[in-house]
Amino acid sequence: MRQRSFKYRFYPTSEQEILLRRTMGCARLVYNRALAARTEAWYERSERVGYPETSTMLTSWKKQEDLQFLNDVSSVPLQQGLRHLQTAFTNFFAGRAKYPNFKKKHNGGNAEFTKAAFKFRDGQIFLAKSPTPLAIRWSRQLPQDAEPSTITVKLSPSGRWTVSILVDVEICILPESTSSIGIDLGITSLVALSTGEKIANPKGFKTKKAKLRKAQKTLSRRQKGSNNRAQARRKVAKIHAEISDARNDFLHKLTTRLVRENQTIAVEDLTVKNMVKNKKLAFSISDASWSELIRQLEYKCDWYGRTFVKIDRWFPSSKRCGHCGYIVEKLPLNVREWDCPKCSTHHDRDINASKNILAAGLAVSVCGANIRPNRFESKGQLRKTSNGEVAPVLAVSVDGGLPNPEGKKQKPKS
């Protein structure tokens, strides 16, 4: 059994909207107060405040005269907000995320309800303190006999109401396939496949750039705090929502197709966070959404029993000749086709890279090599063996040559 969320749009009544907005406002207030208390305790008294302490604070806040409105909403979303804050601090201390930020009203809001705060009866959802069910637009049915464990109601900045239902489902493994594929990510072509196919980048943000710029200029002219500014802000948010929806739709269709057709999928382990520091390419890289594409491939391969391999980011997939294994010293980004100086084979840069990624991915999956080596391993220096000993790193050979401890190719013995 796996947990899977199903997201739907719904249209609340005026009473439900008032209650939900009030609940989200209270959850935002509690989250921000707890974040301020934890920050103050650390910087002023060097004390660490965790979830139990903030939960006690919430109890005391509800007794204050100026915070009596916290008792008018369900306590579950408030407690869930404190748990999410604890998770944010855990990720921060582990180095996986930045320091938590305060939530802002104009960014929309969300409220999470666990089983104690909702009822799922006859295919309808009743939230706490609301006698009427949510008017959900069921674009697809929930799995049969599925029982929701968590329900998250979200209001986007564009004014769209959505509900995300988390259920435990049994996901069927896809029939085994004999094909494998290597994927090279790019900008002009979003992906180049080792089969020779190139899939163009839809460039969702670029297609809406002029429309978005006009809406943002209108927003900048509106007086702060006015209703006209609020309307202009929602218009900008709607354009951003259109861009996001188009991008996600394209990526889901593409990744689902690749997972269905191939048993093994190999990609490069790219550090997008560092790549977007290049000011000339940051816009195009962000618009391509490489990280989301890789994330979808990874979890879908896990769901449907496929093999997903990430190749070391230092592997010279573009510079290596897929025919003889020769590695050129320099290959600028503007060079899209090149001839191997050794065997004179003509290469398309992206297709050649995808073929090398596939070959390296198959070698990794068969040999069980470390697909994410550390800084020393990627430079061909040292690695740890299975028994904990330190040994030289053997370079992966794509063309059949034998690797040696220095990472240089040797000719096969006759």
Two structure tokens written together for 53: 């302490």
| Cα angle for residues 337, 339, 343 (degrees, 5° grid) | 150
Would you say 206 and 247 are in contact if contact means Cβ atoms under 8 Å apart?
Answer: no
3-state SS, residue 85: helix
Q: Which of 184, 287, 312, 377 is catalytic?
A: 184
Q: Which two tokens stand for residue 100?
A: 């938590």
* Closest CA relative to residue 183, chosen from 372, 353, 369, 366: 353
Bridge-based pairing state of the strands 382-384 and 390-392: antiparallel
Question: What type of residue is 359?
Answer: A
Q: Is residue 184 annotated as a catalytic residue, yes or no?
A: yes
Single-letter residue type at 8 = Y
Q: Considering Cα of 54, then 113, then 172, then 309, what sign does the dihedral take? A: negative
Among candidate residues 112, 312, 350, 377, the one labeled active-site is 350
How far apart, in whole angstroms, are the C-alpha atoms of residue 262 and residue 247?
23
**What count of other Cβ atoms lies within 10 Å of the Cβ of residue 386?**
6
Question: If you ran DSSP here, which 8-state letter would residue 307 be given?
Answer: E
Residue 247 tokens, joined: 């991008």
Whether 399 sits among the annotated catalytic residues: the reply is no
Residue tagged active-site, from 268, 287, 312, 377: 268
Residue 127, token pair as written in the block: 């939230």
Q: Which residues are catalytic?
A: 184, 268, 350
